[in-house]
């Protein structure tokens, strides 16, 4: 069974390896944009980025420019950023606050809900001109979970609830069970880009095998900095991230996670940290709920440093206190945006610690982010080698187990990478499966059907 590109994804994505052309072939990238990013659910942004009426931010769904905006009634809209007259983008500022969007070519003006409100020299148009039909196009499907806004450019498909499945609980823990308006996302954005395929960052974000090697300097810096006297066991954990107790889990639908919540000791916690307290009754209730489930110490760590470590297919990564969004640009170019989050019901001291722990490892001048980007570019370069063109992803395959309906591996196993690729192959072959059944039913030759 071949894809529209004449490629057989079944032979390129195997159980224990993937072919390097999946990172380098521009035709595959185009098909990914169409099938994964334009038709499936993708993460767009969070309500906390646009807290006030009139606030907007520019986003992209796959390659298509979108405005995420909150109107005067506090409703959030996703509007395709393309004037209905002759097609110029109507907004170029990355973020801001406005009453309307005015296209700078001929001055057509749109309200925050996308309606076309003004057309200069209207008398030039005949009676058939219907202003009410010429608003900015709205993204066909928009849905949210705890203020995380997802969208699909396809009018039909599975519900967001079904797509997220077990990942919903991880979003809940990342948000400290906060309601959609209690998450603050206005502390700035870390941005970087790298010369490599977008899937390299997805795989790496859930790779529990690499930290003790790639981030060895960070581990050493921690050892130098901590002021307490660690036990021998703690020293071992500090030096070797792989010694963290935890596991790798495939949550289904391409969502995967590393569960560090099982760890016995928190190496980032060498210095005294502020007590975790709530400043609102609602916050108090959330805190109690978490303490009952995870105990006081783990809850405090989760709120100071992040409640989960999860990849939500295809473009959202929740690590530490950040939402990390992958923006594929071309087959070998990717932009990454890191949005640190604060919780409105925590004390300012705890929120400050959230930001400091984020900056230490993930900022542009930090210990972790730059190390990983360097690896992505080395892999992309290595993909030019055509003999033995495979990347191995077999680690832990023999010891994977099924628990509670999930595939579970050890923390450093490639269970997570395999989970991402399983979903990738499923989505990329969907149209082809449809085509095959059409061919079978019809009995004659039918061109490969898209969709
Ligand atoms: S292209 Fe926007 S007003 Fe003409
Ligand atoms: Fe890393």
Q: pLDDT at position 331, please?
A: 98
Q: What integer pLDDT is reported at residue 319 of this predicted model?
A: 95
- Can you give the pLDDT at residue 140? 97
| Most informative mutation of 82, 92, 100, 105 for ligand 1 (most atoms within 8 A of CB) | 105
User: What is the position in ligand 1's atom list of the atom closest to the CA of 84?
Assistant: 2
Closest CA to 201 of 63, 284, 311: 311
Quote the CA–CA distance of 95 and 68 in Å, as a whole number. 9
The pLDDT value given to residue 439: 41
Cα 208 to ligand 2 centroid, rounded to whole Å: 9
Name the residue at shortest CA distance from atom 4 of ligand 1.
106
pLDDT value for 263: 62
pLDDT of residue 117: 97
Half-sphere exposure of 295 (CA within 13 A, CB side): 6
Say what the pLDDT of residue 226 is.
Answer: 60
Determine which residue's CA is closest to atom 1 belonging to ligand 1.
86
State pLDDT tens for residues 129-158. 999 999 999 999 999 999 999 999 999 999
Sign of dihedral through CA atoms 57, 58, 60, 65?
Answer: positive
Ligand 1 atom at shortest distance from the alpha carbon of 88: 1
Tell me what pLDDT residue 321 has.
95
Ligand 1 atom closest to residue 87's alpha carbon, by position in its atom list: 1
Q: Report the separation in Å between the CA atom of 319 and the middle of ligand 2, taken as the mean of its atom positions.
A: 11
Q: Which ligand 1 atom is nearest residue 107's CA?
A: 3
**Average pLDDT per run of 10 along the chain, which is 451 residues long?**
79 97 97 96 98 98 98 97 98 98 98 97 94 97 98 96 98 97 94 96 95 82 64 60 75 96 55 86 97 93 93 97 97 97 97 89 78 94 95 97 95 96 95 47 33 30
Ligand nearest to the CA of 373: 2
Q: Is 443 left (phi over 0), alpha (psi -120 to 50) or beta?
A: left
Compute the distance from residue 254 Cα to the ligand 2 centre, in Å.
20
Domains of the chain with bracketed CATH: 42-156 (2.102.10.10), 166-427 (3.90.380.10)
pTM of the model: 0.91
pLDDT at 3: 74
Instruction: Answer left, alpha or beta for residue 165, where phi above 0 means left and psi between -120 and 50 means alpha.
Output: left
* Cβ pair 183, 147 in contact under 8 A: yes
Choose the residue to mutate in 108, 122, 124, 131 for probing ligand 1, maximizing ligand atoms within 8 Å of C-beta.
Answer: 108
Q: Whose CA is nearest to atom 3 of ligand 1?
A: 106
At 230 the pLDDT is: 61
Q: Which residues line ligand 1 (CB under 6 A)?
A: 83, 85-88, 103, 105-108
């Amino acid at each position: 069974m071949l894809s529209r590109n004449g490629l057989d994804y079944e032979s390129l994505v195997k159980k224990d390896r993937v072919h390097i052309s999946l990172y380098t072939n521009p035709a595959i990238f185009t098909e990914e944009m169409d099938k994964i990013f334009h038709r499936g659910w993708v993460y767009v942004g969070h309500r906390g980025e646009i807290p006030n009426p009139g606030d907007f931010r520019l986003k992209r769904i796959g390659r298509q420019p979108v405005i995420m905006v909150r109107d005067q009634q506090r409703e959030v809209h996703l509007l395709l950023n393309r004037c209905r007259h002759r097609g110029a983008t109507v907004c170029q500022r990355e973020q801001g606050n406005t009453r309307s969007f005015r296209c700078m070519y001929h001055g057509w003006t749109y309200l925050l809900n996308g309606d076309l409100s003004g057309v200069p020299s209207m008398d030039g148009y005949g009676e058939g001109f219907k202003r009410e039909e010429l608003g900015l196009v709205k993204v066909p499907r928009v849905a949210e979970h705890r203020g995380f806004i997802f969208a699909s450019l396809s009018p039909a498909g599975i519900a967001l609830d079904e797509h997220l499945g077990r990942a919903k609980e991880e979003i809940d823990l990342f948000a400290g069970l906060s309601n959609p308006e209690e998450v603050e996302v206005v502390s700035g954005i870390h941005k970087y880009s790298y010369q490599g395929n977008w899937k390299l960052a997805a795989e790496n974000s859930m790779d529990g095998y690499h930290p003790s090697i790639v981030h060895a300097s960070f581990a050493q810096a921690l050892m130098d900095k901590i002021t307490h006297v660690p036990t021998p066991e703690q020293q071992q954990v500090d030096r070797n991230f792989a010694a963290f107790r935890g596991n790798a889990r495939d949550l289904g639908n391409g969502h995967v996670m590393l569960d560090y919540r099982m760890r016995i000791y928190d190496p980032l916690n060498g210095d005294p940290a502020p007590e975790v307290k709530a400043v609102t009754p609602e916050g108090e209730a959330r805190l109690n709920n978490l303490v009952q489930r995870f105990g006081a110490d783990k809850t405090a760590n989760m709120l100071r440093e992040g409640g989960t470590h999860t990849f939500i297919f295809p473009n959202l990564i929740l690590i530490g206190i950040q939402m990390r969004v992958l923006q594929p640009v071309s087959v070998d170019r990717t932009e990454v945006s890191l949005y640190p989050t604060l919780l409105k019901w925590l004390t300012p001291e705890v929120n400050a610690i959230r930001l400091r722990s984020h900056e230490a490892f993930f900022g542009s001048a930090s210990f972790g982010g730059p190390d990983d980007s360097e690896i992505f570019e080395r892999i992309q370069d290595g993909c030019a080698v055509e003999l033995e063109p495979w990347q191995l992803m077999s680690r832990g395959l023999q010891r994977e187990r099924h628990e509670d309906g999930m595939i579970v591996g050890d923390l450093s196993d490639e269970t997570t990478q395999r989970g991402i690729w399983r979903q990738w192959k499923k989505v990329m072959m969907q149209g082809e499966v449809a085509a095959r059944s059409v061919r079978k039913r019809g009995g004659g030759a039918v061109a490969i059907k898209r969709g």
